[in-house]
Amino acid sequence: MAARAGRCSARRVWDVTVTARDVERCRREVADAVRALGGGLEAVAVARLGVSELLSNVVRHVPDTRCRIEVERSGDAVVVRVVDRSPDPPVVSEPAWDAERGRGLWLLRQMVTAFGHTRVGEGKAVWFRCPPGDDGRDARAGWGP
């Protein structure tokens, strides 16, 4: 994975050329960023799931897998964005009960406080807003009690 990270107090940005092997590492980096920006345990879990789904879709559906991952604080929540090089909007539909694929974006949309996409140049940004970090636990401490 080729990556370049940018830092400021309320935002983290990575430029990556993602492969299937890189998804887990990106999940960890996004989780660390959400924690650093004050996200609680629920926000961290949702961000990990969401970025995994969005990057897996880039690997599966976008010929040019160069993309940008952005994590930023927005009010009391954290917004995660993946900017890719495909203009095609994400397809989100309720999956059939026996479907083996197609559940990821639908499930993500059920878990977040907002979800959407916008055109960016020749591609798009798919974004989601994680639940606020007000669950009373410090996400920097990890998953334990």
- Residue of 70 and 102 predicted with greater confidence: 70
Strand order from edge to edge, sheet including 3-8: 3-8, 11-17, 66-74, 77-84, 123-129, 114-120
Global pTM exceeds 0.95? no
Q: What pLDDT score does 110 carry?
A: 86
pLDDT of residue 96: 65
| CATH number of the domain encompassing residue 30 | 3.30.565.10
Given this model, what pLDDT does residue 42 score? Answer: 93
- The candidate with the shortest Cα–Cα distance to 55, out of 78, 86, 34, is 86
Please, what is the average pLDDT of the chain? Answer: 84
Domain ranges, residue 27: 3-141
| Region 105-133 average pLDDT | 90
Sign of CA dihedral 46, 24, 39, 7: negative
Q: How many domains does the chain have?
A: 1
Please answer whether residues 26 and 1 qualify as being in contact, where contact means their C-beta atoms are separated by less than 8 angstroms.
yes
**Contact 81/70 with Cβ under 8 angstroms?**
yes
pLDDT band at 94 (very low <50, low <70, confident <90, very high): confident
Which residue, 135, 131, 139, is CA-closest to 43?
131
Among 120, 132, 130, CA closest to 51: 130
Report the C-alpha dihedral over residues 27, 39, 141, 51, rounded to 10 degrees. Answer: -10
Question: Would you say residue 61 has pLDDT above 60?
Answer: yes
Give the mean model confidence (pLDDT) for residues 40-67: 95
Q: Which of the two residues, 132 and 138, has the higher pLDDT score?
A: 132
